[in-house]
């Protein structure tokens, strides 16, 4: 069974209405079909209309004249009445083997609208006890349900001829409850019930038991000075009454100086004799019931007429005026009616009052205005006035003293153009009698300076503004202003921001601040304020010099915060004060004309289409299309690309923008970071109207190293450099430690402690040193051998033909008879060259061929020398590699290189072969590399070579620094 939800159908009395039952396809069912309509008033028990299959329709007798059943199953009601206000049910029933099967049910509610009418009202006359609770009821029925509102009628006395006024007390309630009813609660009340078809109203009168009723209340009066008057105030009540008078809301007994002149009586009468100007004012009569808070009051205005008389307030005996300035002398006279004419006197002589613009004039307050004060204006002054009551008394005389004005002896220029971080001194020195005090102001803010001159050190952008130097003494104040313009800075904040609502849009206008001496444009920042503040949105203002802009598509009944900032090529400037704007959903009559213009003139350009994003490396490629420009309602002149990323700075996702010409369809955003980018593109018309934005986003993912590189290139560069330096330093230290260790195994230093330690810790090398006895003090002197008994032999062989020979004559030990000199000493250290770089050694002379001789590296005695000889033997060709270290070579076959050149060259290990740049040798290039062969060859194979040795001499002092 299908049951539909209820539907409500509104109707009014006398109308015709059709209640639609969903269309019924009789051919859908093969069984007999019954359609029936029921009403809720009958508890859905008795059908008001029914039809069995194709038989005639049956209508209940109560509704036969107005109800009818249509062929599609709908119920038609003619001339709707109030009793038709009910819920109707449409049923579709099948007869299956004598059983009724309800297949579908539909419910519809017919709501008959009716004008409001009272169904219950309280007694229109209510008498309540003081401070009791009063309930006033107005039950009103109608369709739709009427809203009942309560008002209190504020009716003034008939003598005032004021119209009736009402005060809204309560809305949408059928009962008004008055708590703690008192005299202020008494009066006339009205209830009004209204709906869309009409309204009804009813008045109630509320009286408080023991209320006071007026019999005579005081009247306004106008009297003359020195006269008398009587004010009567009378009331009636069932209780005993008492009277009290107030003057200007204060008890008259508190302000009357003499009870003989002003008197009050117990029956409510007030008399005033010998009336004075001070008697002018408001007098209020208050009637109250004894021992009760019930009161009645009524004011009366007493107007006293009198000719001009001097005011009682204090008047200075002397007035000081400044020479050359405007002078004003007040006329302190009081009169009613107001003064009609006035004349001034100086030193007993009348002053000629000229028309407007003359030397002496009178203003609206009857004061004497001196256009240019000079020394002749000194003297004694008084004024004499007249009104409708005649001439009164003259004003109290006063003396006018003329002083010289304050003069600036040094003052700042009217305008200064300065740069940031500059120093500026604003001079300000004034002279006057008495000596004036100097004060400085910036934009109305007081600046505290130690002296008269204002010194600005390291001028900043915030120093831009209007400065005022004020010189003042007890008589006068003089100001002089100057404008400081700070050039080449970001713009100053926009000023005087105004806004107007146009439908769901905001029209913003502003005054540009100083642009810093550069071209500026404006950006509008705005955000929605709901439960919490949202992120700021930014929109670029075009054209750049525009001072008004229209924000589109704001949410109604919401509050926005708006600020405007200018930008030039140096960056963003200062923000304007944030405005909080509530976007109303109702039209404001003050700007109603703008709604009309919004509907007719504010046409927006077509937005871009087909926005596509892709990236390669650290560049983001943005492409888009634009529909046929001829179809755009306005002319498109440019596009604005706005982008932001998930990178947060100061808890805010920064947004950037750029303007591209309308002919562009692509843009490359460089130096992107690893982040999610949101791109927006808007098209702008020549009037600065922007389109709906088209938006896309992309996630930028780099490899880890590239991501770090893109995020901070300089930081990663420094990190990589330090890593390389650290690794290289560790390698060098390790190499030096190993080199030092093996060097100590072959050559013991002259220090006894170190030698003994080395011999104890490394006994395996003792046979090499033979003895760890003290040696020479020069720890860097190399172990040298005499080469007298050695035969010249080559120390190199080719890579494929290794030279080797047995020892012909073993080395003998040195004796004391052997002489040691520089010409017969060569380097005898034998070890492997760790890594020899390709060197170029040139020797164009023909050298004699030598024979190979093997050399022992076990030496029992060494002879120290201050100079070391290093022999380099090149290969015969490019393929020949170094396979062993240097052996003693006769000096007549070696060429020397100045050891001073070695000092100034780059410091390489002693065993290394210098490069071309170190030897300054040209025209020959040879490659040297360590050989896999041992330094002492046992093979009997021999091969002759033609070495070209070069001898390099090092000073031991140089070696000390390099070890």
The pLDDT of residue 176 is 94
Other CB atoms closer than 10 Å to residue 130's CB: what's the count?
A: 18
Comparing 464 with 650, which gets the higher pLDDT?
464
Beta bridge partners of 251: 246
Question: pLDDT category, 81, cuts 50, 70, 90?
Answer: confident
How many whole angstroms separate alpha carbon 687 and alpha carbon 34?
A: 69
Lowest mean pLDDT among 11-25, 517-531, 768-782, 821-835: 821-835
Question: pLDDT category, 399, cuts 50, 70, 90?
Answer: very high
Q: Does the pLDDT at position 600 exceed 80? A: no
pLDDT per residue over 855-878, tens digit each? 333 333 333 333 333 333 334 344
The pLDDT of residue 118 is 93
The pLDDT of residue 238 is 63
The pLDDT of residue 23 is 65
Beta bridge partners of 247: 250, 283
| Angle in degrees, 0-180, between the axes of helices 704-711 and 713-746, rounded to the nearest 10 | 110
Which one of 3.30.70.240, 3.40.50.1970, 2.60.40.10, 3.20.20.70 gives the CATH number of domain 122-208? 2.60.40.10
Query: Per CATH, the architecture of 2-113 is what?
Result: Sandwich (2.60)
Go through the chain and tell me how many residues it has: 963
Phi and psi at residue 165, in whole multiples of 5°?
Answer: -130, 150
The pLDDT of residue 523 is 93
- The CATH code that applies to domain 609-704 is 2.60.40.10
Which residue, 538, 543, 859, is CA-closest to 689?
Answer: 543
Other CB atoms closer than 10 Å to residue 25's CB: what's the count?
A: 8
- Per-residue pLDDT, averaged over 884-905, amounts to 37
How many whole angstroms separate alpha carbon 66 and alpha carbon 60?
A: 10
Comparing 235 with 363, which gets the higher pLDDT?
363
CATH 3.50.50.60 fits 407-487, yes or no: no
Tokens standing for 762?
Answer: 């490394």
Question: pLDDT category, 163, cuts 50, 70, 90?
Answer: low
The domains of the chain are located at 2-113, 122-208, 213-306, 311-403, 407-487, 495-600, 609-704, 780-963
How many whole angstroms separate alpha carbon 126 and alpha carbon 421?
A: 83
Beta-carbon contacts of 892 under 8 Å, excluding residues fewer than 6 positions away, are none
Domains 213-306 and 311-403 share a fold: yes
Determine contact, residues 918/840, Cβ cutoff 8 Å: no
Domain at 213-306, CATH homologous superfamily = Immunoglobulins (2.60.40.10)
How many whole angstroms separate alpha carbon 637 and alpha carbon 685?
A: 6
- Longest Cα–Cα distance of the chain, Å, equals 162
Question: Rounded mean pLDDT of the chain?
Answer: 74
Q: Does the pLDDT at position 929 exceed 80? A: no
pLDDT per residue over 875-889, tens digit each? 434 433 333 333 333
The pLDDT of residue 475 is 87
Q: Does the pLDDT at position 743 exceed 50? A: yes
Question: pLDDT category, 918, cuts 50, 70, 90?
Answer: very low
Question: pLDDT category, 99, cuts 50, 70, 90?
Answer: low
- Per-residue pLDDT, averaged over 256-277, amounts to 85
Comparing 33 with 132, which gets the higher pLDDT?
132
How many whole angstroms separate alpha carbon 32 and alpha carbon 53?
A: 6
The pLDDT of residue 497 is 93
Share of the chain above pLDDT 70, in %: 69
Share of the chain above pLDDT 90, in %: 31
Question: pLDDT category, 270, cuts 50, 70, 90?
Answer: very high
- Whose tokens are 């030397």? That residue is 359
How many whole angstroms separate alpha carbon 517 and alpha carbon 380?
A: 57
Question: pLDDT category, 188, cuts 50, 70, 90?
Answer: confident
Q: Does the pLDDT at position 916 exceed 90? A: no
Specify the pTM: 0.43
CATH 3.20.20.70 fits 311-403, yes or no: no
pLDDT per residue over 135-162, tens digit each? 999 999 888 889 999 999 886 544 444 4
The pLDDT of residue 339 is 92
Question: pLDDT category, 343, cuts 50, 70, 90?
Answer: very high
SS3 322: strand
The pLDDT of residue 810 is 38
First-to-last CA distance in the chain?
A: 106
pLDDT per residue over 790-835, tens digit each? 333 333 333 333 333 333 343 344 444 443 343 333 333 333 333 3
Comparing 424 with 777, which gets the higher pLDDT?
424
Determine contact, residues 144/199, Cβ cutoff 8 Å: no
Comparing 258 with 885, which gets the higher pLDDT?
258
Comparing 102 with 587, which gets the higher pLDDT?
102
Comparing 345 with 814, which gets the higher pLDDT?
345
How many whole angstroms separate alpha carbon 525 and alpha carbon 513?
A: 17
Class of domain 495-600: mainly beta
């Amino acid at each position: 069974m299908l049951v539909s939800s209820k539907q409500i159908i509104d109707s009014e009395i006398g109308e015709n209405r059709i209640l639609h039952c969903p269309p019924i396809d009789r051919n859908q069912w093969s069984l007999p079909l019954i359609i029936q309509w029921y009403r809720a008033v009958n508890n859905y028990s008795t059908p008001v209309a029914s039809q069995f299959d194709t038989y005639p329709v049956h209508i209940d007798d109560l509704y036969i004249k107005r109800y009818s059943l249509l062929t599609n199953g709908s119920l038609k009601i003619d001339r709707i009445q109030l009793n038709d206000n009910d819920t109707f049910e449409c049923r579709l029933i099948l007869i299956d083997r004598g059983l009724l099967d309800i297949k579908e049910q539909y419910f519809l509610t017919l709501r008959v609208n009716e004008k409001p009418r009272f169904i219950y009202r309280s007694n229109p006359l209510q008498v309540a006890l003081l401070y009791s609770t009063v309930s006033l009821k107005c039950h009103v029925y109608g369709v739709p349900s009427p809203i009942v509102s309560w008002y209190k009628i504020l009716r003034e006395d008939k003598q005032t001829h004021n119209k009736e006024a009402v005060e809204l007390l309560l809305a949408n309630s059928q009962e008004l409850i008055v708590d703690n009813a008192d005299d202020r609660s008494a009066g006339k009340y009205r209830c009004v019930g209204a709906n869309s078809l009409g309204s009804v109203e009813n008045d109630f009168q509320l009286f408080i038991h023991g209320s006071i009723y007026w019999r005579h209340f005081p009247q306004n009066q106008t009297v003359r000075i020195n006269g008398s008057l009587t004010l009567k105030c009378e009331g009636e009540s069932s209780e005993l009454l008492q009277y009290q008078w107030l003057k200007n809301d204060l008890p008259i007994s508190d302000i009357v100086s003499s009870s003989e002149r002003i008197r009050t009586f117990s029956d409510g009468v007030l008399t005033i004799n010998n009336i004075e100007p001070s008697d002018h004012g408001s007098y209020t009569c208050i009637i109250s019931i004894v021992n009760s808070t019930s009161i009645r009051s009524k004011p009366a205005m007493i107007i006293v007429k009198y000719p001009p008389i001097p005011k009682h307030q204090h008047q200075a005996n002397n007035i000081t005026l400044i020479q050359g300035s405007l002078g004003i002398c007040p006329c302190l006279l009081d009169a009613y009616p107001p003064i009609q004419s006035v004349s001034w006197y100086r030193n007993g002589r009348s002053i000629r009052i000229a028309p407007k613009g003359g030397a002496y004039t009178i203003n609206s307050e009857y004061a004497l205005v001196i256009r240019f004060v000079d020394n002749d204006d000194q003297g004694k002054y008084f004024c004499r006035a007249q009104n409708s009551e005649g001439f009164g008394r003259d004003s109290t005389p006063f003396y006018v003293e003329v002083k010289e004005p304050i003069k600036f002896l040094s003052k700042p220029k009217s305008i200064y153009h300065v740069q940031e971080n500059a120093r500026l001194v604003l001079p300000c020195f004034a002279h006057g009698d008495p000596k004036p005090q100097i004060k400085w102001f910036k934009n109305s803010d007081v600046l505290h300076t130690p002296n008269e001159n204002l010194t600005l050190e390291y001028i900043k952008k915030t120093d831009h503004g209007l400065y005022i130097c004020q010189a003042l003494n007890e008589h006068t104040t003089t100001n002089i202003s100057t404008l400081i313009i700070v050039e080449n800075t970001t713009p100053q904040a926009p000023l005087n921001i105004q806004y107007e609502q146009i439908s769901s849009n905001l029209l913003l206008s502003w005054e540009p601040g100083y642009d810093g001496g550069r071209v500026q444009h404006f950006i509008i920042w705005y955000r929605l304020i709901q439960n919490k503040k949202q992120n700021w949105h930014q929109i670029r203002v075009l054209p750049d010099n525009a001072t008004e802009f229209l924000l589109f598509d704001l949410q109604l009944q919401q509050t926005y915060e708006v600020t405007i900032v200018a930008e030039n090529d140096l960056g963003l400037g200062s923000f304007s004060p944030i405005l909080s704007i509530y976007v109303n959903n109702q039209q404001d009559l003050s700007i109603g004309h703008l709604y009309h213009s919004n509907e007719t003139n504010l046409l927006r350009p077509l937005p871009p289409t087909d926005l596509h994003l892709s990236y390669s490396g650290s560049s983001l490629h943005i492409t888009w299309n634009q529909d046929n420009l001829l179809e755009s309602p306005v002319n498109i002149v440019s596009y604005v690309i706005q982008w932001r990323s998930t990178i947060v700075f100061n808890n805010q996702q920064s947004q950037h923008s750029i303007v591209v010409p309308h002919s562009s369809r692509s843009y490359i955003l460089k130096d992107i970071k690893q982040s999610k980018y949101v791109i927006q593109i808007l098209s702008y018309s020549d009037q600065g109207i922007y389109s709906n934005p088209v938006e896309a986003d992309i996630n930028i993912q780099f490899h880890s190293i590239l991501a770090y590189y893109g995020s901070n290139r300089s930081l990663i560069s420094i990190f990589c450099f330090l890593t390389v330096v650290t690794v290289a330093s560790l390698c060098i230290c390790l190499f030096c430690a190993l080199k030092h260790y093996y060097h100590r195994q072959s050559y013991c230093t002259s220090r006894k402690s170190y030698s003994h330690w080395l011999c104890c810790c490394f006994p395996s090398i003792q046979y090499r040193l033979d003895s760890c006895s003290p040696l020479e003090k020069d720890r860097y002197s190399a172990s040298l051998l005499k080469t007298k008994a050695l035969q010249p032999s080559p120390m190199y062989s080719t890579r494929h033909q290794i030279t080797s020979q047995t020892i012909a004559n073993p080395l003998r030990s040195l004796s004391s008879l052997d002489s040691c000199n520089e010409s017969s000493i060569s380097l005898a250290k034998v070890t492997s060259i760790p890594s020899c770089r390709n060197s170029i050694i040139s020797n164009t002379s023909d050298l004699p061929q030598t024979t190979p001789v093997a050399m022992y590296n076990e030496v029992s005695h060494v002879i120290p020398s201050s100079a070391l000889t290093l022999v380099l033997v090149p290969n015969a060709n490019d393929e020949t590699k170094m396979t062993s270290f240097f052996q003693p070579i006769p000096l007549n076959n070696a060429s020397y290189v100045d050891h001073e050149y070695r000092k100034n060259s780059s410091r390489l290990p002693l065993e290394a072969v210098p490069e071309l740049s170190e030897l300054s040798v040209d025209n020959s290039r040879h490659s040297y590399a360590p050989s896999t062969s041992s330094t002492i060859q046992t093979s009997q194979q021999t091969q002759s070579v033609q070495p070209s040795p070069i001898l390099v001499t090092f000073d031991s002092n140089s070696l000390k620094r390099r070890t």
